[in-house]
Structure 1
Amino acid sequence: MIDLLVTGGTLVDGTGTAPRRADVAVEDGRVTEIGDLAGRSAVHAIDVSGHVVAPGFVDVHTHSDLTLLSSPEAHSAVQQGVTTVVVGNCGLGVTPVGDSSHRAGTVRGGDAALQDHLDALRKAVGYLDLDPSVRWTWTDLPGYLAALDTARPAVNVAVLVAHTPLRAAAVGFEDRPADAAALDRMRGMLADALAAGAAGVSTGLVYAPVCYAREDELEVLGRTAAAYGRLFAWHVRDYADGLLDSVRQALRVAAATGCRTQISHLVAVGRRNHGSVARALELIDAARAEGLDVAFDIYPYLAGNAPLSQLLPAWAQEGGDEAMRARLTERAVRTRIRDEWRDLPNSWDDIAVDGRSVTDLAAAAGTDPVDVALDLVAEHGNGVQMVAGGRSERDLLDALTHPAAVIGSDGQALDPGGATGRGTPHPRSYGAYPRLFSEYVRKGRLGLAEAVRMCTSAAAERAGIAGRGVLRAGAAADIVVFDPARIADRATFAAPQRYPDGIRAVVVGGRAVVEDGVHRGARDGAGGPGEVLRIR
């Protein structure tokens, strides 16, 4: 007897081919048959007449490295149809910890130097760290993957090795170039992780200490990724006035190393830079015409989310989180930053913390926006999140309709009832994929089959994840069922922790995780069916 039978729906298989009427049969976590399966019996049958049946969405760009250990149910991700996530983006990640002498094993209380390093690294990636109760005991990628295995997440997980822990282990948190020995250590640690199943490597050239990396260091990462046929994902050095030069740098490294290259969340920040995305796409088109394997991801919002400390000049971030915070209490330092901030691409009206603009926070405190921003970072370090607007709808549409685009939420798997559900996160964590279909497909700006492809097979291919993102016999049974007339995001910037409308069912590994808005894993207490993916 069939384990799961999904009947009556319109199949959009993820390849970009036209929708068609078909039923889907699942056994042992795999799709076994697709076609007219009327009259067949199943342990669990779902009639989805009037709905689209598609592969589960593959979120190629997330920051769920630690939130999946806090809440493996992955509520905000799976409720919007995501069945596979890629973590470790933007150079922000949690492995490896320590230098080459600590590549294996776990953090033990007796190793004070390693514990100090872990503490400094955890503060450097505070953007990821929403639940202080999550214990961080691994030192290498196999240890982190084992922690994910133990957590039994509801979604499949692939991991990029992040540049921040690599550089911190080999160079430290200071502003200095990596010498030959440090480059060799980074190469070795990255190669070990890629051999253990990492999907690739990511950099984030606005975040300390990665912002101090020279191009030779980036080429080492690119050559190592290329040697394993893995992805190199780039949060480029500047998305504002220097966007085009930053894209050119990523393309230079791609040409020099031959690595498969992904430019993360391709946007232009600041109203004076509207139109820059089209010029960046011209650079990408030229590189692709020359044979480089270059693409990018994007999410369907006109505001982004990042650590507030990202706005600081690189010199102010040197030495790690504690040194940065102490530095921001010095009057001369604050005066110098104020000077450098006179020409920010966004106004303080466009930048919000906890749902209120920095301008409003300053007015309420009887001070000015610069002091508010510096005080927040001085008190809370890299954990302060901002939402920054001022983007262009034209830029976004240019990106979404480009053939090299895939969808990545840039969000986190959050639990609105748990430790990760506090505050006012960016609504993309709850609604990125439904928003794409309501705002761009239903309004005729994207075709249904193409939008599904961008969310599924195209994203899986960029991450090097085989067997996901398509519905065909033999493929993993990761499925989302949605009503094309009703699917829509309900999360807003003012009230972000709302699940979307129109998602009928979400299936991971053949198991229905969400049905009619109910997370079945939360109800029956069983561990999630997600697989921790080791890329080979």
Structure 2
Amino acid sequence: MSRDLLLTGGLVVDGTGAEPRRADVLVRNGRVAAVGAVVADVDKRDVTGRVVCPGFVDIHTHSDLTLLSDPRALSKVHQGVTTEVVGNCGLGAAPPGPDPGGLRGAVSYLDLDPAVTWPWHDLDGYLGAVERARPGVNVAALVGHLPLHAAVCGLSDRPASTVDLDRMTGLLRDALDAGAVGLSTGLVYAPLPYVREEELVALARVTASTGKLFAWHLRNYDDGLVESAAQAVRVARETGCRTQISHLQAVGPRNWGGVRRVLDLVDAANAEGCDIGVDVYPYLHGNAPLAQLLPAWAQAGGQAVWMPLLRDPVVRNRVRAEWTDRESRWDEITVGWTARAAPDPEIGRSVAELAAERGTTGGEVVLDILAELGMGVMMTAGGRSEVDLLAALAHPASVVASDGLALDPDGVTGAGLPHPRSYGTFPRYLSRYGDDDLADAVRRCTSAPAARVGLDDRGVLRAGARADVVVFDPATFTDTATFTAPHRFAAGIDLVLVNGVSTVDGGRHTGARAGTVERRF
């Protein structure tokens, strides 16, 4: 239950970018009642020496199914996240379409708990399931392009016909009408690599007609980064759709500097009247299914089709021929999680280490793993530049987002060595990159991302706004999760309120689950 509370003596950073100031914050009936010099006959908590700011709004997450496994969202709320936006990278669990098993395999990145069932038939049903689970954080959803496309065209390499596009855009309209905050695509996740630009334009036009956001996991983040970003910009110009370029990065030393070129494209388009933003997480390693390394042609038909083909010497030779530049870079790829029973000795090992141990090549190791596990293996991948990261973090159009999942370190979703961003993104950013301008840094974690997805009453401390509040000690607030020990909560957080309800207090979870499902119509 929400209780009235007066936070006194803290340094208020209100999320708008305004200068920090000493002020009291009154929480009443789940909302911020006042910010300033407040006199009220309610419970008081002295937070002198602490920063009081809005809860962090994570607009790029993959918690679609982990929130149904453990609704407490422990790894997120313990770092101050109070709102999660799911359905990113084109992935999602709705609509399941005619082959829910095939879709579940295609989006297995999200699917860490086999006990979670899929009883819904559309996005409205999925959001209802989340509501019934009583999440510990607020949840909003983008519509995943992959479920839309798969429901109409299946998982094979088949372009959408005019009739297919009519069906697909109809499904999209239904999902947006059910309260989704936008659309996302992920043009590396099969079958989306086969999608033509006319399909992206058709979906963008529907999204633009609602004023909602279109988030892009680009087609390529290495050699084709700039060209891939240019496609997103081109569709934004043609349709007028508000656009978000997800987790902007340039992979591989020969592509370093590409982030600056993408930001120049964004600046030019925005100067012409477009509305294009970017998001970024403050790490030099990424995380994705190992199958993302496969060429698009090798993923046609879904994993039930392509897994056996990876044992064919002809197919293997063709894949390896496209991986010639990777043989010197397999040390950048580490196995982070597999669907095998624990303990799995491959977890935490780089592909280069495994290849040396077996007396073979990295390409052979990866093909063997994928032939056995398909989408059931995750990798951590390096090869990124801090100069690029700093450029993205500093850009006026950028916000911070984790690209992580809500995980339970002691439960089924706490297996393996996931990317530490699921536990540490926001404290890492604020403690390592936000010192020079704390007000702007907090804005990039709160009101700015909330505005991107139309959550106007989240991410700001002002009278009338929802009382999502974080209180932290600036002297000790930091991430503690690492790549070798990722399941560690952030340090330095005293209090997290979700809709006015104490959810983390003194570093401990209270058991509260006070989140709401955020629908925007």
The question of a shared fold, defined as TM-score above 0.5 by the shorter chain, is answered with yes
Q: Is the 8 A contact 1:431 1:500 kept in 2?
A: yes
Q: Is the 8 A contact 1:299 1:408 kept in 2?
A: yes
After superposition, where does 1:285-296 map in structure 2 within 5 Å?
285-296=267-278
Residue 359 of structure 1 is matched in structure 2 by 352
Aligned equivalents of 1:268, 1:155: Cα separation in 2: 32
Residue 132 of structure 1 is matched in structure 2 by 114
Residue 96 of structure 2 is matched in structure 1 by 97
Q: TM-score, normalised by structure 1?
A: 0.93
Residue 455 of structure 2 is matched in structure 1 by 465
Is 2:488 the counterpart of 1:503? Answer: no
Residue 518 of structure 2 is matched in structure 1 by 533
Is 2:168 the counterpart of 1:186? Answer: yes
Residue 367 of structure 2 is matched in structure 1 by 374
Shift of 1:366: 3.2
Aligned equivalents of 2:311, 2:51: Cα separation in 1: 55
Is 2:477 the counterpart of 1:487? Answer: yes
**Which letter does structure 2 place at the counterpart of 1:456?**
T
Shift of 1:335: 0.6
Residue 79 of structure 2 aligns to a residue whose secondary structure is coil
Residue 344 of structure 2 is matched in structure 1 by none
Q: Is the 8 A contact 1:441 1:451 kept in 2?
A: yes
Residue 103 of structure 1 is matched in structure 2 by none
After superposition, where does 1:145-160 map in structure 2 within 5 Å?
145-160=127-142
CA deviations over 1:81-112 (Å, ceiling 9, x no partner): 000010000001111121xxxxxxxxxxxxxx
Residue 68 of structure 1 is matched in structure 2 by 67
Residue 343 of structure 2 is matched in structure 1 by none
Q: Is the 8 A contact 1:271 1:346 kept in 2?
A: no
Identity over aligned pairs, percent: 60
Residue 150 of structure 2 is matched in structure 1 by 168
**Which letter does structure 1 place at the counterpart of 2:31?**
R
Residue 375 of structure 2 aligns to a residue whose secondary structure is helix
Residue 441 of structure 1 aligns to a residue whose secondary structure is coil
Q: Is the 8 A contact 1:2 1:25 kept in 2?
A: no
Aligned equivalents of 1:344, 1:394: Cα separation in 2: 23
Q: 1:2 to 1:369 in 2, by over 3 A?
A: closer
Q: Is the 8 A contact 1:269 1:346 kept in 2?
A: no
Is 2:13 the counterpart of 1:23? Answer: no
414-423 or 45-54, which deviates more: 45-54
Residue 201 of structure 1 is matched in structure 2 by 183
Shift of 1:368: 2.0
Is 2:239 the counterpart of 1:254? Answer: no
After superposition, where does 1:329-344 map in structure 2 within 5 Å?
329-344=311-326
Residue 356 of structure 1 aligns to a residue whose secondary structure is coil
Q: 1:286 to 1:345 in 2, by over 3 A?
A: farther
Aligned equivalents of 1:344, 1:238: Cα separation in 2: 16
**Which letter does structure 2 place at the counterpart of 1:514?**
V
Residue 338 of structure 1 aligns to a residue whose secondary structure is helix
Residue 340 of structure 2 is matched in structure 1 by none
**Which letter does structure 2 place at the counterpart of 1:223?**
R
Is 2:231 the counterpart of 1:238? Answer: no
Q: Is the 8 A contact 2:12 2:21 kept in 1?
A: yes
Aligned equivalents of 2:328, 2:247: Cα separation in 1: 17
**Which letter does structure 2 place at the counterpart of 1:396?**
L
Residue 4 of structure 2 aligns to a residue whose secondary structure is strand
Q: Is the 8 A contact 2:156 2:300 kept in 1?
A: yes
Aligned equivalents of 1:66, 1:321: Cα separation in 2: 20
Aligned equivalents of 1:397, 1:345: Cα separation in 2: 29
CA deviations over 1:441-471 (Å, ceiling 9, x no partner): 23x4xx1000000000000001111200100
Residue 452 of structure 1 is matched in structure 2 by 442
Q: Is the 8 A contact 2:327 2:361 kept in 1?
A: no
Residue 475 of structure 1 is matched in structure 2 by 465
Residue 488 of structure 1 aligns to a residue whose secondary structure is coil
Which of 502, 516, 530 in structure 1 is aligned with 2:506?
516
Structure 1 residue runs of 4+, over 4 Å off?
none
Residue 494 of structure 2 aligns to a residue whose secondary structure is strand
Residue 481 of structure 1 aligns to a residue whose secondary structure is strand
Aligned equivalents of 2:37, 2:376: Cα separation in 1: 52
Is 2:433 the counterpart of 1:440? Answer: yes
Aligned equivalents of 2:395, 2:142: Cα separation in 1: 25
Aligned equivalents of 1:137, 1:2: Cα separation in 2: 35
Residue 243 of structure 2 aligns to a residue whose secondary structure is strand
Aligned equivalents of 1:306, 1:345: Cα separation in 2: 19
Q: 1:350 to 1:2 in 2, by over 3 A?
A: closer
Shift of 1:46: 2.4
Is 2:402 the counterpart of 1:394? Answer: no
Shift of 1:381: 1.3
CA deviations over 1:411-449 (Å, ceiling 9, x no partner): 00000010100000000000000100121123x4xx100
464-473 or 346-355, which deviates more: 346-355
**Which letter does structure 1 place at the counterpart of 2:120?**
W
Q: Is the 8 A contact 1:272 1:345 kept in 2?
A: no
Unaligned runs of 5+ in 2: 336-346
Residue 84 of structure 1 aligns to a residue whose secondary structure is strand
Q: 1:346 to 1:174 in 2, by over 3 A?
A: farther
Q: Is the 8 A contact 2:3 2:500 kept in 1?
A: no
**Which letter does structure 2 place at the counterpart of 1:401?**
A
Aligned equivalents of 1:169, 1:191: Cα separation in 2: 14
Q: 1:232 to 1:345 in 2, by over 3 A?
A: farther
Is 2:401 the counterpart of 1:408? Answer: yes
**Which letter does structure 1 place at the counterpart of 2:373?**
H
Residue 419 of structure 2 is matched in structure 1 by 426
Aligned equivalents of 1:344, 1:371: Cα separation in 2: 12
Q: 1:92 to 1:439 in 2, by over 3 A?
A: same
Q: TM-score, normalised by structure 2?
A: 0.96
Aligned equivalents of 1:5, 1:324: Cα separation in 2: 58
CA deviations over 1:22-66 (Å, ceiling 9, x no partner): 11111111111111225x3324x3221111100000001000000
Residue 379 of structure 2 aligns to a residue whose secondary structure is strand
CA deviations over 1:275-307 (Å, ceiling 9, x no partner): 111111111100000000000100000000011
Residue 41 of structure 1 is matched in structure 2 by 41
**Which letter does structure 2 place at the counterpart of 1:77?**
K
Aligned equivalents of 2:318, 2:270: Cα separation in 1: 42
Aligned equivalents of 1:516, 1:380: Cα separation in 2: 41
Q: Is the 8 A contact 1:3 1:42 kept in 2?
A: yes
CA deviations over 1:309-364 (Å, ceiling 9, x no partner): 01100000000111111111111101110110002498101111032211112223
Residue 450 of structure 1 aligns to a residue whose secondary structure is helix
**Which letter does structure 2 place at the counterpart of 1:531?**
T
Residue 85 of structure 1 aligns to a residue whose secondary structure is strand
For the aligned residue pairs, the C-alpha RMSD in angstroms reads: 1.2
Residue 135 of structure 1 aligns to a residue whose secondary structure is coil
CA deviations over 1:359-379 (Å, ceiling 9, x no partner): 112223333211111111111
Residue 355 of structure 2 aligns to a residue whose secondary structure is helix
Aligned equivalents of 1:2, 1:58: Cα separation in 2: 22
Q: Is the 8 A contact 1:409 1:429 kept in 2?
A: yes
Give the paired residue count. 509
Residue 3 of structure 1 is matched in structure 2 by 4
